[in-house]
């Protein structure tokens, strides 16, 4: 059925495009370049400069060497989305979910582990907001108002040739409105259920050659309604974040300009209370950035920019914990480094038996050295059901650890309370020089050099400060072979101090059927570099201000640690090779203005690191692979001056596997499931948009099948906007409602459920 639909759509558009339209090259360029100077001389007084030169103009969509989805400010407004991840749901092949115990939205293009959103590059005006200490993108930490976005360009597929490492599955490039396009003042207030309450203001002004935009926002909601055993809304995933930023553009002279951006953001995110926590470990984040870009146009054919930014983030996440005193024993820590599975069982012994006399018998026997390894393996198997390896050396060390417990009967299950934190400070300095050169009518290059320093400071994760320097050189060339073929070739070479060097190439051929219709072949490769925690972990949790305990410690390390030993094999870069065959057409179809893009693809992901670095993780490796095949299309059609539609579909066949030899069958099943957990085999988005001076509206429908996720996902959303005038001020009222089918069934993890099917909010905006 899908195939039939596609063939019909393709057929219609192609025929329409071929029959009604003409190739622009049919117009003679001499028509406006011949020697006819009367107008310039007698009317204008001087010749006009060529402003929209080839280096300024964007690459035509039919010649873009990738599949790209562009979401415009007008669509953002009419869809009524209030967060970036919500907008990403409209992108074919893009899946939005959440990690376990996390309230940060997790995105994956095609397939990825929801617990770590680390395979997509996200840029805001050229500044990477991808975090490097623990690779991820925290959407709430991006100080950006949805109202300030001009457009979002999503490159669907690897694009490391242009953007570098971590542009692995794709690139989300958010471009904010130029200050000149944000004049006047805007104040908006949004209020809805689920604790939704947002306030936003913006003011823009221009002087002679300078324009400025100041924007600020506070955004809050309560997140999911999932609950623990208490039955109430105990899943702490609410958030409240605010920011203020400024964007200044200054025209230095006729050929150069300077952009400066500065921003500060602060916010609190509620975190779920787990394990030994005595209070919720809510996260407070403060970050700031300074960004500058100097652009110079040396000639109509040659343009360059120098871009620099500095950004710093400080995350405070402290908590009070109560842990078994034994877990703070340095001898148990040594046992953990020797046999982590056995050490975890020793630490958990108090909870393994219901009867304390059983515990004392086992612990007493271990303390006395009464068990040999095979006996102990048998006991563990009978209690846990798992067969583990235990050596005599392990038992000897256990005996040493337990010898520290005075009066075993009363002290073995003693707990000690204290303070700990997972505070983290991150900093990035990035400098880039980019040069765009048009060598001839047919050949254009974009090249550049850049340097980036990522550093992080955390006693818990790194036992201090760590950093990684990256040097990059890139070159991309576009060559037009007549009017029928555009070739793109390019690559980026990266040298890192703590990871292997990498070269990420891309080759593309766009066969132009006409100016607005092409078939493209793209082969590209990219890598994801291990983050600072993956490459230099010293993950040690220190508990301070301890209450009185039998070890007589006021400060101690938790026995579990994740530290790379010298002889341990380092993690290497994840690699992807993508093959894509695409067809694009923009044309007139039965009176509509339509853009259609379809691609079939094959992706080979290798050396995947499927698990995040945690205290408990003992087998982090590059031993995972995935092959992804599929097809996806995107149809955007303006039916007439008021109505338009947006339709996307994605089919995915994910074949992922563990290729190492360290995991049990159960663990392999778990890790393989993890890499597919966000994705559906079939997913569809359909949206109708109506725009008129009197009112605007959109009605959208989302559907994902339940092949890999826990339930079929279906959602409708409606947004209505009504312009009004209040006391002479232009205003807009809007109402958004989202209806989820089966809201009480979780999407990715059990606690991610809503108590009611509807999410709604109303908004009032004043513009003056």
Partner 1 sequence: MDARNLTMFYVKLLLFSFISCPLFAAQDNIVLVTEKNTSALSKLVSHLSNISPQFNYHVSTVENPASIGLDDYVIAIGAKQAVHADLLKYPKRIAVMLTAKQAESADVASSIFIEPPLARQLKLAHLLIPGSKKLGLLVSNDDDKNRIFTTLTAAEQQMLQVINVEDYENINQALFHVLKDTRLLLGHYDNRIYNAKNIKNILMTSYRQQKVLIGPSRAYLKAGSFSTTFSDLSHIAQRIIDVVEHHKKSGHWLKADYNPHYRILFNPQVARSLNIRVLDEVLLQQKMGEK
Residue closest to 103 by CA, chosen among 196, 254, 221, 228:
221
**Least separation, in Å, of the C-beta of 211 and partner 1?**
7
**Least separation, in Å, of the C-beta of 22 and partner 1?**
4
Q: Note the residues at the interface with partner 1 (CB under 8 A).
A: 17, 20-22, 24-27, 29, 31-33, 35-40, 42-54, 56-63, 72, 150, 178, 180-181, 183-184, 206-208, 211, 254, 515-516, 586-588, 593, 595, 640-642, 691-693
DSSP E strand boundaries for 78-235 = 94-98, 105-109, 120-124, 127-128, 149-156, 170-176, 184-192, 197-206, 210-221
Which of residues 56 and 744 has its CB atom nearest to partner 1 in the complex? 56
Q: How many CB atoms lie within 10 A of CB 299?
A: 12
Which residues have CB under 8 Å from 290's CB, separation 6+?
Answer: 260, 261, 262, 309, 310, 311
Residue closest to 84 by CA, chosen among 56, 34, 124, 131:
124
Residue closest to 714 by CA, chosen among 753, 669, 683:
683
**Least separation, in Å, of the C-beta of 63 and partner 1?**
8
Which of residues 592 and 618 has its CB atom nearest to partner 1 in the complex? 592
**Least separation, in Å, of the C-beta of 728 and partner 1?**
16
What is the distance between the alpha carbons of residues 489 and 349, in angstroms, rounded to a whole number?
A: 60
**Contact indicator for 394, 377 with CB cutoff of 8 Å:** no
**Least separation, in Å, of the C-beta of 61 and partner 1?**
5
**Least separation, in Å, of the C-beta of 9 and partner 1?**
17
How many angstroms separate the Cα of 161 from the Cα of each of 136, 140, 170, 372? Answer: 21, 28, 11, 58
**Least separation, in Å, of the C-beta of 35 and partner 1?**
6
Which of residues 178 and 227 has its CB atom nearest to partner 1 in the complex? 178
**Least separation, in Å, of the C-beta of 577 and partner 1?**
29
Which of residues 187 and 379 has its CB atom nearest to partner 1 in the complex? 187
**Least separation, in Å, of the C-beta of 215 and partner 1?**
16
Residue closest to 528 by CA, chosen among 124, 105, 121, 115:
121
**Least separation, in Å, of the C-beta of 695 and partner 1?**
12
> If DSSP states are collapsed to H, E and C, what string results for 311-360?
EEEEEECEEEEEEEHHHHCHHHHHHHHHCHHHHHHHHHHHHHCCCHHHHH
DSSP state of 277: B
Which of residues 40 and 372 has its CB atom nearest to partner 1 in the complex? 40
Structure tokens at 423: 């505070």
**Least separation, in Å, of the C-beta of 591 and partner 1?**
10
What is the distance between the alpha carbons of residues 30 and 28, in angstroms, rounded to a whole number?
A: 5
| Cross-strand partners of 583 | 519, 598
Which of residues 55 and 304 has its CB atom nearest to partner 1 in the complex? 55
Which of residues 53 and 284 has its CB atom nearest to partner 1 in the complex? 53
Which of residues 55 and 717 has its CB atom nearest to partner 1 in the complex? 55
What is the distance between the alpha carbons of residues 144 and 278, in angstroms, rounded to a whole number?
A: 34
Which of residues 242 and 723 has its CB atom nearest to partner 1 in the complex? 723
DSSP E strand boundaries for 395-463 = 415-421, 424-438, 443-458
**Contact indicator for 620, 667 with CB cutoff of 8 Å:** no
Which of residues 48 and 727 has its CB atom nearest to partner 1 in the complex? 48
What is the distance between the alpha carbons of residues 406 and 411, in angstroms, rounded to a whole number?
A: 7
Which of residues 56 and 673 has its CB atom nearest to partner 1 in the complex? 56
């Amino acid at each position: 059925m899908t195939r039939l639909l596609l063939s019909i759509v393709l057929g219609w558009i192609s025929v329409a495009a071929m029959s009604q339209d003409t190739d622009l090259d049919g117009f003679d360029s001499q028509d406006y370049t011949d020697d006819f100077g009367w107008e310039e001389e007698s009317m204008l007084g001087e010749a006009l400069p060529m402003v929209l030169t080839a280096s300024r103009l964007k690459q035509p969509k039919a010649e873009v060497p990738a599949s790209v989805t562009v979401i415009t400010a007008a669509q953002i407004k009419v869809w009524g989305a209030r967060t970036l991840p919500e907008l990403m749901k409209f992108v074919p092949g893009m899946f939005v979910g959440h990690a376990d115990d996390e309230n940060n939205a997790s995105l994956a293009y095609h397939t990825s582990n929801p617990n770590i959103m680390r395979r997509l590059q996200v840029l805001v005006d050229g500044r990477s907001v991808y975090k490097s200490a623990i690779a991820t993108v925290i959407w709430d930490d991006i100080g950006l108002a949805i109202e300030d976005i001009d457009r979002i360009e999503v490159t669907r597929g690897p694009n490391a040739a242009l953007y570098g490492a971590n542009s692995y599955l794709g690139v989300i490039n958010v471009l904010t409105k130029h200050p000149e396009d944000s004049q006047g003042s805007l104040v908006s207030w949004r209020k809805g259920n689920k604790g939704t309450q947002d306030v936003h203001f913006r003011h823009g002004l221009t002087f002679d050659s300078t324009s400025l935009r100041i924007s600020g926002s506070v955004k809050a909601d309560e997140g999911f309604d999932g609950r623990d055993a208490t039955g109430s809304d105990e899943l702490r995933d609410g958030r409240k974040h605010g920011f203020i930023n400024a964007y200044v553009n200054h025209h230095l002279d006729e050929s150069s300009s300077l952009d400066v951006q500065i921003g500060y953001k602060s916010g609190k995110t509620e975190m779920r209370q787990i394990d030994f926590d005595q209070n919720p470990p809510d996260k407070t984040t403060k970050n700031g950035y300074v960004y500058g870009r100097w652009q110079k146009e040396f000639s109509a054919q040659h343009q360059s920019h120098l871009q620099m930014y500095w950004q710093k983030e400080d995350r405070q996440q402290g908590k009070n914990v109560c842990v078994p005193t034994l877990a703070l024993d340095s001898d148990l820590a040594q046992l953990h480094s020797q046999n982590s599975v056995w050490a975890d069982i020793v630490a958990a012994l108090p909870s393994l038996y219901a009867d304390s006399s059983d515990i004392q018998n086992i612990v007493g026997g271990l303390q006395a050295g009464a068990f040999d390894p095979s006996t102990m393996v048998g006991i563990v198997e009978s209690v846990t059901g798992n067969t583990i390896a235990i050596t005599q050396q392990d038992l000897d060390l256990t005996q040493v650890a337990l010898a520290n417990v005075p009066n075993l009967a009363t002290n073995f299950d003693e707990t000690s309370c204290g303070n700990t934190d997972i505070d983290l400070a991150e900093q990035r300095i990035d400098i880039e020089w980019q040069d765009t050169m048009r060598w001839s009518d047919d050949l254009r290059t974009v090249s550049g050099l850049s340097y980036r320093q990522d550093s992080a400071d955390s006693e818990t994760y790194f036992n201090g400060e760590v950093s990684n320097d990256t040097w990059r050189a890139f070159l991309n060339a576009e060559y037009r072979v007549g009017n029928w073929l555009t070739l793109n070739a390019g690559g980026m070479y990266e040298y890192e101090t703590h990871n292997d060097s990498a070269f990420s190439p891309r080759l593309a051929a766009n066969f132009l059927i006409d100016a607005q219709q092409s078939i493209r072949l793209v082969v590209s490769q990219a890598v994801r570099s291990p983050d600072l925690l993956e490459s230099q972990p010293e993950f040690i949790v220190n508990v301070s201000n301890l209450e009185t305990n039998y070890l007589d410690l006021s400060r101690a390390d938790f026995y579990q640690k994740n530290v790379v030993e010298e002889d341990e094999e380092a993690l290497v870069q994840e690699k992807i090779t993508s093959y894509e065959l695409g067809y694009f057409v923009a044309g007139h179809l039965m009176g509509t203005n339509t853009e259609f893009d379809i691609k079939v693809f094959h992706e080979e992901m290798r050396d995947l690191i499927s698990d995040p670095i945690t205290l408990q993780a003992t087998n982090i490796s590059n031993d995972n692979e995935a092959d992804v095949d599929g097809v996806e299309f995107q149809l955007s059609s303006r039916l007439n001056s008021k109505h338009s539609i947006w339709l996307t579909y994605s089919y995915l066949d994910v074949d992922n596997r563990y290729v190492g030899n360290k995991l049990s069958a159960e663990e392999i099943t778990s890790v393989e499931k993890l890499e597919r957990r966000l994705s559906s085999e079939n997913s569809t988005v359909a949206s109708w948009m109506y725009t008129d001076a009197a009112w605007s509206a959109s009605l959208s429908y989302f559907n994902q099948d339940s092949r890999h996720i826990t339930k079929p996902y279906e959602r409708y959303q409606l947004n209505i906007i009504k312009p009004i005038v209040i006391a002479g001020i232009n205003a807009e009222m809007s109402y958004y409602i989202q209806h989820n089918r089966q809201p009480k069934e979780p999407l990715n993890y059990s606690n991610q459920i809503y108590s009611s099917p509807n999410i709604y909010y109303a908004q009032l905006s004043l513009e003056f």
